[in-house]
Amino acid sequence: MTATNRYDFVVVSNRLPVDRMVHDDGTASWHRSPGGLVTALEPVMRASQGAWVGWAGQADLDLEPFTFDDVTLIPVALSLLEIEHYYEGFSNDTLWPLYHDVIAQPSYHREWWDAYVEVNQRFADASARVASLGATVWVQDYQLQLVPRMLREQRPDLTIGFFNHIPFPPYGLYAQLPWRTQIIDGLLGADVIGFQRVADAGNFSRAVRRLLGYATRTPEIRVADGAGGHRTVIAKAFPISIDVAEFEEIAGRPEVQARAQQIRDDLGNPSTIMLGVDRLDYTKGIRHRLKAFGELLDEGALSVGDAVLVQVASPSRERVAAYMQLRDEIELTVGRLNGTHASISHSAVAYLHHGYPREEMVALYLAADVMLVTALRDGMNLVAKEFVACQLDEGGVLILSEFAGAADELKNALLVNPHDIDGLKEAMVAAVRMPQRERTTRMRALRRRVRENDVSRWSNTFLDTLRHANHHSSAR
Ligand code: G6P
């Protein structure tokens, strides 16, 4: 056996925080992935000798641990079949739709569950191997809900945190899951289980009471430890955020502001640019927003040339059937809208099926007058917070779905129920017509809120709770 380095702080997530690019000459290089989690955890990683356990995003890559930007990355390999069953199947065609209010029908397949158990065990083993005695291990998201229990069984010395980035469903829906008890039990291996919203933590505690009969006294759950005693697990909301200073800095750069002006010019300088930025996912309510926008054009409340909708839909999970179908539907709708309303010189909808670097996203946020976040269900929605952080001139209007976690904090947005198309249209018209004074008042309040709770506060609060929780249990 080779000697392995051990780390005091280990983050475990399905994806590593880097993307692998293979070049034309066959060589490969790593690039930091755009996600916010990397930024959130980087300072903690550096301060505490951290390692990150995760999948490198491609099949059958059996890689040795390596260092990137001073952080040790520990790759976990997945075969093609495991990608199909564990990632595309159980994670993204069972749990994802189930946890997002069954917007799409979840599929329940026993082979997918078997792969989920097997891959979770592999992540747990890899983490157990690299964690030092008494280390803190922080497991991320729905793909790895069995890891906390599996880790505790091997390594009772560890302090284990779990954070669920997506919603946790009400019991009436959660109860569909044939493996509902195993998942709850898997999560309860953690000392602290974090959720985005207070409602998610409540849904989880209810599921624990119903399925396992444990007593809960918010935020504590008394869990039988298997040896006749009890441990206390904390289940609580820790709303995630963004690196506000980084977005403000990019938004203040002259070249990014010039790019925003160029985007406006290229669109023909309409009086209103509406913007949607999403992964192409059925949870995001892209169809609802297109429908509302299309009806406003039909009725003449908005007109092409005067208003345009820029919709960035970044490619996502393209081998999962529900995503393929969604793409077809969206592209058909955009084609019809443009066919009906566009002119030679002006589009109704500028639809972009690409991902963009952060600077370009910020330029889009600066170019936009109205940001449309119309998710049917969303754990948090960081796009809403990014848009707000970039409004240095406090000029933009945010339309925000009440079904996104961000709505708990961003109450000065125009809050909408995206299923109510008339309500959504009213909010869009109100946003376009909103007087400057009201825009400023609302945006100022939103900016204050986003600045107060930025991502370092999120990670610090979670890790403080984790430290305290473990201390509390072991003191008994
Ligand atoms: C959501 C999930 C993340 C996931 C991301 C991208 O934000 O909460 O865990 O990484 O979507 O999805 P993907 O399937 O490409 O990792």
Rounded CA gap, 37 and 40, in Å? 5
Number of structural domains the chain divides into: 2
* 437 in Cβ contact with 422 (< 8 Å): no
* 403 in Cβ contact with 378 (< 8 Å): yes
Whether the CB of 317 sits within 6 Å of ligand 1: yes
174 and 293, same domain (yes or no): no
Rounded CA gap, 203 and 191, in Å? 18
Rounded CA gap, 424 and 290, in Å? 11
- What pLDDT was estimated at residue 474? 44
412 and 268, same domain (yes or no): yes
Whether the CB of 100 sits within 6 Å of ligand 1: no
- What pLDDT was estimated at residue 232? 97
Which residues are CB-neighbours of 273 under 8 A, at least 6 positions away? 264, 267, 307, 308, 310, 367, 368, 369, 370
Residue 370 lies in a domain: yes
The vertex-122 CA angle with 118 and 125, nearest 5°, equals 130
- What pLDDT was estimated at residue 100? 98
Q: Which of 38, 91, 141 to mutate to test the pocket of ligand 1 (most atoms within 8 A of CB)?
A: 141
382 and 464, same domain (yes or no): no
Residue type, 353: H
93 and 183, same domain (yes or no): yes
Ligand 1 midpoint to CA 359 (Å) = 21
The vertex-189 CA angle with 465 and 38, nearest 5°, equals 55
413 and 326, same domain (yes or no): yes
In 3D space, the residue among 233, 207, 212 whose CA is nearest the CA of residue 99 turns out to be 207
Residue 438 lies in a domain: yes
* 418 in Cβ contact with 285 (< 8 Å): yes
323 and 299, same domain (yes or no): yes
Whether the CB of 259 sits within 6 Å of ligand 1: no
302 and 236, same domain (yes or no): no
- What pLDDT was estimated at residue 476? 41
Ligand 1 midpoint to CA 292 (Å) = 27
250 and 205, same domain (yes or no): no
- What pLDDT was estimated at residue 37? 78
Rounded CA gap, 240 and 262, in Å? 32
pLDDT in tens, 313-363: 999 999 999 999 999 999 999 999 999 999 999 999 999 999 999 999 999
- What pLDDT was estimated at residue 45? 84
Residue 151 lies in a domain: yes
Omega into 270 within 30° of 0, i.e. cis? no
Maximum Cα interatomic distance, the chain, rounded to a whole number of Å = 75
- What pLDDT was estimated at residue 26? 87
β pairing state of 192-195 and 159-163: parallel
pTM: 0.96
178 and 206, same domain (yes or no): yes
Q: Which residues constitute the domain of residue 95?
A: 7-240+457-474
Whether the CB of 49 sits within 6 Å of ligand 1: no
- What pLDDT was estimated at residue 46? 79
Residue 249 lies in a domain: yes
Whether the CB of 316 sits within 6 Å of ligand 1: yes
144 and 81, same domain (yes or no): yes
167 and 286, same domain (yes or no): no
Rounded CA gap, 259 and 148, in Å? 45
Residue 2 lies in a domain: no
Whether the CB of 15 sits within 6 Å of ligand 1: yes
Residue nearest to atom 16 of ligand 1 (CA): 15
Rounded CA gap, 261 and 390, in Å? 15
Ligand 1 midpoint to CA 141 (Å) = 9
DSSP class of 106: P
Q: How would you label 55-70 residue by residue, b for 16+ Cβ within 10 Å and e otherwise? A: bbbeeeeeeeeeeeee
* Tens-digit pLDDT string for the chain (476 aa): 345 799 999 999 999 999 888 899 989 899 888 766 777 787 788 788 799 999 999 999 999 999 998 889 999 999 999 999 999 999 999 999 999 999 999 999 999 999 999 999 999 999 999 999 999 999 999 999 999 999 999 999 999 999 999 999 999 999 999 999 999 999 999 999 999 999 999 999 999 999 999 999 999 999 998 888 999 999 999 999 999 999 999 999 999 999 999 999 999 999 999 999 999 999 999 999 999 999 999 999 999 999 999 999 999 999 999 999 999 999 999 999 999 999 999 999 999 999 999 999 999 999 999 999 999 999 999 999 999 999 999 999 999 999 999 999 999 999 999 999 999 999 999 999 999 999 999 999 999 999 999 999 999 999 999 999 965 454 34
Ligand 1 midpoint to CA 280 (Å) = 12
Rounded CA gap, 72 and 346, in Å? 49
Rounded CA gap, 37 and 17, in Å? 8
Ligand 1 midpoint to CA 224 (Å) = 32
In 3D space, the residue among 390, 430, 395 whose CA is nearest the CA of residue 414 turns out to be 430
Ligand 1 midpoint to CA 90 (Å) = 14
Residue nearest to atom 11 of ligand 1 (CA): 279
The tokens describing 413, both together, are 């947005």
221 and 334, same domain (yes or no): no
Helix pair 436-452, 382-390: axis angle to 10 deg: 120
Residue 205 lies in a domain: yes
Whether the CB of 314 sits within 6 Å of ligand 1: no
In 3D space, the residue among 343, 331, 446, 455 whose CA is nearest the CA of residue 390 turns out to be 446
Ligand 1 midpoint to CA 350 (Å) = 25
Ligand 1 midpoint to CA 166 (Å) = 9
Looking from the CA of residue 92, the nearest atom of ligand 1 is 14
Residue 322 lies in a domain: yes
CATH code at position 153:
3.40.50.2000
Looking from the CA of residue 140, the nearest atom of ligand 1 is 9
Q: How would you label 266-300 residue by residue, b for 16+ Cβ within 10 Å and e otherwise? A: ebeebebbbbbbbbbbbbbbbbbbbbbbbbbbeee
Looking from the CA of residue 379, the nearest atom of ligand 1 is 8
Integer CA distances (angstroms), 117 to 121, 149, 176, in order = 6, 12, 18
In 3D space, the residue among 27, 152, 20 whose CA is nearest the CA of residue 73 turns out to be 20
